[in-house]
Amino acid sequence: MSVPLLIIPGYSNSGPQHWQSHWERLLPGALRVQQRDWEYPTVEEWVAALDAAIATCATPPVLVAHSLGGSTVAHWAARFRRPVQGALLVAPPDLDNPALPEACRTFAPVPRQPLPFRSILVASRDDPFASFERSEQMARDWGSQLVDVGQAGHINSASGLGEWPRGQALLREFL
């Protein structure tokens, strides 16, 4: 892939068995957006780190976000206008969900306006951090294409996806 891919993990980062970590190793041009503090996120710091990473790309990147990383993308898009080719938003959380770690609540409320770029929102039917109905609402708000992956939990390491071939196929279709 010749397009830069910015991997944007969520709360606690993405461990070595997470599909984002596999993609970072496997896909040319993939770069993880680093955060100063993965355990106590602040929307201002996370958005600034994303903006700085986008600014370093020679060409507009594709954003590949998981969980709170998707909320970060929505906040970034509401504040900045750097060009991006689009975003793959996987399992963004419902910030009002009581199961969500308290540290993530600083991201509420998440912007609801349409994203100014193409996007796909990938949702699971049994995500503990967002009901499917809430994921459908986020997709409508953001103007994202919704992809239903069935029963896949939070679409993370615990979901046992490995390199997540279906997600890679979605990314290839997107590109």
pLDDT digits (tens, 9 = 90+) for 29-72: 899 999 999 999 999 999 999 999 999 999 999 999 999 999 99
Write out the two tokens for 3.
Answer: 């397009």
* For the chain, percent of residues with pLDDT exceeding 90: 95
Classified as helix, coil or strand, 121 is strand
Interacting residues of 66 by C-beta distance below 8 A, sequence separation 6+: 8, 9, 10, 14, 18, 19, 20, 90, 91, 155, 156
Question: What are 87's strand-pairing partners?
Answer: 63, 119
Backbone torsion region of residue 19, taken as left when φ is above 0, otherwise alpha when ψ lies between -120 and 50, otherwise beta:
alpha
User: How does residue 132 score in pLDDT terms, banded at 50, 70 and 90?
Assistant: very high
Handedness of CA 123, 68, 95, 79 (dihedral sign): negative
User: Is the pTM higher than 0.95?
Assistant: yes
Cα–Cα–Cα angle for 53, 163, 58, nearest 5°? 25
Determine whether domain 5-174 maps to CATH 3.40.50.1820: yes
